[in-house]
Structure 1
Amino acid sequence: MLILSRKQDEGVMIGDEIEIKIISIDKGSVRLGFKAPNNMLILRSELKSAIALQNKQASAPQEDFQMPEVRKILKK
């Protein structure tokens, strides 16, 4: 992991297309600005973790799944 110190209004380039800029620095918070191609998804890490967890839960087999109940619903 590369660790850098940056001041407000300074930034970092990743390759030729991605720029990360320090917008403001407050007491316990740093605001970042991102410039990247529109086809590149940028997510906060906690959102990516939450999405991964939801996907894992959605793909897990449902133990209480009852086929007879589904058949009853479909016959109506």
Structure 2
Amino acid sequence: MSREAYQVPSMGAQNAFGTDAGFGGAMAVDNPSVVYLCGECSARVPLKRGDQIRCKDCGHRVLYKERTKRMVQFEAR
């Protein structure tokens, strides 16, 4: 029985679903910001992943997610 040495998978490898297996995929390149509203001064605060949850104007830590402008329609039965 021959034993092969373990090889670390490369970052470009794909998993079973056909997407990038590493953390350096499309999500890291396209890092969108989400706009929140400050609970104290009502300023619009864009936040990206990893940013501190804090208003950049007044320093308040309570932020509310902005409502969607997309039309949402439900079917009544």
- TM-score range (shorter-chain normalised) is under 0.3
Bigger radius of gyration, 1 or 2? 1
Q: TM-score, normalised by structure 1?
A: 0.26
In terms of fraction of residues, the more helix-rich structure is 1
Higher relative contact order (CA 8 A, sep 6+): 2
Q: TM-score, normalised by structure 2?
A: 0.26
In terms of fraction of residues, the more strand-rich structure is 1
